[in-house]
């Protein structure tokens, strides 16, 4: 079973700053299987990034994903007020046991 | 625009069975080879995938819950359902349904379940006597 560890747990930033969120897998994985979601309070998660770097439909280009192997990053350039939320990474794979979510990173207003 | 809506009892007694239905609108469940999934989130905690089902009834369940989970699909109503037996307080959560995308990878010569999009708004199910 692969474990996804997200860091930091909380990121305190000001609007306009850059957020860099990390998602680390306990063993090497295919980047094709890595996705990122945004969740605001009281709302369902929303897909941001698929296949580690593909931007989902309607997602602004200030959101970008990168990485390979065990280390993946979600970058938000120029934080806007609506970007303060919790972000989750998610891994899938060739078996049901491979599907897992990271613990989340909260991006809060400093 | 594809939309999903969960429905079902908000309160279930311990040891009983949790039953939820997801109604899909804006597209037919049968229109693609994508699956349809359930994910839950205990209050204040992270996300846990429960399982997913295809329009033809093929299922994949997360191993920790496999013995208690049954999913079904009713294409005529454009719905799919979740049953979770022998619930305890640990099953208290917001339950989401979502489209579970499936992608073919040439390097593995197989189609794999990947990301979830879109999601329903979620429904809170509390397990309590």
The string of DSSP codes covering B7-70 is ES-SEE-TTS-EEEEEEEESS-GGGSS-EEEEEEE-TTS--EEEEEE-TT--EEE-GGGTTTEE
**Is the model's pLDDT at A94 over the cut of 90?**
no
Exposure of A94 in the CB half-sphere (CA atoms within 13 A): 8
Tokens, residue B39: 């994910």
Q: Each residue of A49-90: pLDDT tens digit?
A: 999 999 999 999 999 999 999 999 999 999 999 999 999 999
Give residue B15's region: left, alpha or beta (phi > 0; psi -120 to 50).
Answer: left
Cα separation, B32 vs A69, whole angstroms? 30
Chain A: closest CA distance from residue B62 (Å) = 6
Whether residues A94 and B49 touch (CB distance < 8 A) is answered with: no
Give, for all 129 residues of chain B, the pLDDT tens digit.
999 999 999 999 999 999 999 999 999 999 989 999 999 999 999 999 999 999 999 999 999 999 999 999 999 999 999 999 999 999 999 999 999 999 998 888 888 999 999 999 999 999 999
State the average pLDDT over residues A17-27: 97
- pLDDT-derived band at A95 (thresholds 50, 70, 90) equals confident
Instruction: Label residue B117 exposed, middle or buried (CB < 10 Å: 0-12, 13-18, 19+).
Output: buried
To test the contact with chain A by mutation, choose from B26, B41, B100, B114 the residue with the greatest count of A C-beta atoms within 10 A, namely: B114
pLDDT for the residue A97: 84
CB contact under 8 A, B121 and A96: no
Please report residues of A whose CB lies closer than 8 A to that of B60: 96
Mutate to test the interface with B, among A37, A45, A57 (most CBs of B within 10 A): A45
Q: Kindly report the nearest CA distance between residue B49 and chain A, in angstroms.
A: 7
């Amino acid at each position: 079973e692969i474990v996804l560890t997200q860091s930091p747990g909380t990121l305190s930033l000001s609007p306009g700053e850059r957020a860099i969120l990390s998602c680390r897998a306990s063993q090497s994985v295919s980047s094709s299987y890595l996705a990122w979601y945004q969740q605001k309070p009281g709302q369902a998660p929303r897909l941001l990034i698929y296949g580690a770097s593909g931007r989902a439909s309607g997602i602004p280009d200030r959101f970008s994903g990168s990485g390979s192997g065990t280390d993946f990053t979600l970058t938000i350039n120029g934080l806007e007020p609506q970007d303060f939320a919790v972000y989750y990474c998610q891994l899938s794979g060739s078996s049901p046991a491979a599907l897992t979510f990271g613990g989340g990173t909260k991006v809060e207003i400093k | 625009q594809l939309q999903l809506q969960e429905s079902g009892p908000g309160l279930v007694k311990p040891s009983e069975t949790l039953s939820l239905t997801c109604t899909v609108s804006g597209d037919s469940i049968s229109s693609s080879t994508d699956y349809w999934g359930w994910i839950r989130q205990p209050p204040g905690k992270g996300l846990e995938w429960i399982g997913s089902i295809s329009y033809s009834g093929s299922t994949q369940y997360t191993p920790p819950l496999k013995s208690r989970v049954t999913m079904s699909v009713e294409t005529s109503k454009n719905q799919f359902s979740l049953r979770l037996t022998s619930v305890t307080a640990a099953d208290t959560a917001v339950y989401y349904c979502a489209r579970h995308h499936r992608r073919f990878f040439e390097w593995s010569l197989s189609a794999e379940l990947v990301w979830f999009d879109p999601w329903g708004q979620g429904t809170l199910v509390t397990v309590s006597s």
